[in-house]
Amino acid sequence: MFEHLKVLPQDPILQLMQSFRDDPRPDKVDLGVGVYRDATGNTPIMGAVHKAARRLLEHEKTKSYVGPAGSPGFNSAVTELLLGGDNPLSRDNRVSTIQTPGGCGALRMAAEFIKLCKPDAAVWVSTPTWANHMPLLGGAGLRIQSYPYLNSETLEVDFDDMMAALEMARKGDVVLLHGCCHNPSGADLTASQWAGITDLILRKELLPFVDMAYQGLGDGLEEDAQGLRHLAQAAPEMLVAASCSKNFGLYRERTGALMLISGNAKSQKAANSQLLSIIRAHYSMPPAHGAGLVETILQDDELRREWQAELSGMRDRIQQLRHAFSRELASSGDFDFIARQKGMFSFIGISEKQVNYLRAHHGIYLLESSRINIAGLSDKTLPRVAAAIREAVASA
């Protein structure tokens, strides 16, 4: 039965990671990786996470099943992070949040849920978007449509083109938006653009779906949720996929959540029961450990303060690197956008040939699209990487 199967080509990101590992040059630099790195190149376990893990170990009394929705304490803490405390949607019982295996689990379960509600709905995704959106959403059988997002000349959001394309969406289609720190471009919507897109979604009766994978890594925990909150208070229905991989550094613990907002408490109850039944049919219930850590942190004032301070430190480090990098590149063109953009990623707008030049001549690894992970830089490597890019731009 398996004999006719062919070996698939390796995922380009995994291939890049492999080439980096195989490269013997001691001063090689990995800017392709999709995880936060500190100044020493490590992806650290946050101090608050360490402490929460010790507490969990001491106080956990059972390893019994958690149920398809996961931990209620985690779910309400994440709802508060996303929507703010004491929000009207929670008061009106129009919202429920369920724990999922990472943001990916939330995206896929949302896709299955959309498929159940409206099998012919198209999901509109930005060009570019995170490559995994396609298999996660398309794999559920949904039709994917794309809307232009990034202007390839200015590397800023092409809002007029985006809005013009979304005018083509049909009633009931789904619009996927990155809550903050757009991956892969780092170019985010402004408050007035969020207001514009909210009006369009309401007028055309579309379903907003926000992917919030980097809350706290752009401008701050509250600031990064403003667009999402604006949409949530206006739209009758909405989906949000949230990830705790980056802002809690819990990548391998697979910790995320899917938030569902319905028009009223009655339809919310029905929608939630359908979603839980979908989950039961896929993975039955989510893993408990990562969510236990997040819940422990968010429910304890001291740990929460420590976590927020560590998250601010990560955000400040990224912002400082962004400013220093755009200054260092200034003599080779306009790279100011790098300082304006948010989160870990930016396209630096160089050609595939120049990307290959950096790898061949300097052991600097980035994706062919020219996406770099800013957190992969350090004060030590930044001047050398900038000099190599200047050289690549001049010669390749």
Position among 68, 70, 103, 186 found at the interface with ligand PLP (CB under 6 A)? 103
Which of 52, 213, 242, 257 is an active site residue?
213
Total residues binding ligand PLP (CB under 6 A): 13
Catalytic-residue membership of 246? yes
Catalytic-residue membership of 375? no
Q: How far is the CB of 387 from ligand PLP (least distance, A)?
A: 29
Q: Name the token pair of 278.
A: 């979908």
User: Which residue number, 90 or 243, has a Cβ lying nearer to ligand PLP?
Assistant: 243
Give yes or no for residue 211 binding ligand PLP (CB under 6 A). Answer: yes
Which of 124, 130, 194, 307 is an active site residue?
130
Position among 46, 140, 207, 213 found at the interface with ligand PLP (CB under 6 A)? 213
Region binding ligand PLP by CB under 6 A among candidate stretches 74-82, 100-108, 270-278, 281-289: 100-108
Whole-number Cα distances in Å, 315 to 20, 334, 337 = 26, 23, 17
Give yes or no for residue 155 binding ligand PLP (CB under 6 A). Answer: no
Position among 97, 185, 243, 373 found at the interface with ligand PLP (CB under 6 A)? 243
Catalytic-residue membership of 106? no
Region binding ligand PLP by CB under 6 A among candidate stretches 69-77, 97-105, 146-154, 260-268: 97-105
Give the separation between CA 337 and CA 334, rounded to whole angstroms: 8
To the nearest 10°, report the CA torsion of 77, 78, 79, 80: 60
Give the separation between CA 31 and CA 1, rounded to whole angstroms: 41
Catalytic-residue membership of 269? no
Position among 36, 124, 130, 365 found at the interface with ligand PLP (CB under 6 A)? 130
Q: Name the token pair of 2.
A: 């398996």
Sheet holding 207-212, edge to edge: 95-100, 256-261, 238-243, 207-212, 174-178, 122-127, 143-148
Position among 16, 32, 34, 371 found at the interface with ligand PLP (CB under 6 A)? 34
Q: How far is the CB of 319 from ligand PLP (least distance, A)?
A: 19
Report whether the peptide linkage leading into residue 24 is cis, meaning its omega lies within 30 degrees of zero. no
Give yes or no for residue 183 binding ligand PLP (CB under 6 A). Answer: yes
Q: Which residues are catalytic?
A: 130, 211, 213, 246
Residues that bind ligand PLP (CB under 6 A): 34, 102-104, 130, 178, 183, 211, 213, 243, 245, 251, 256
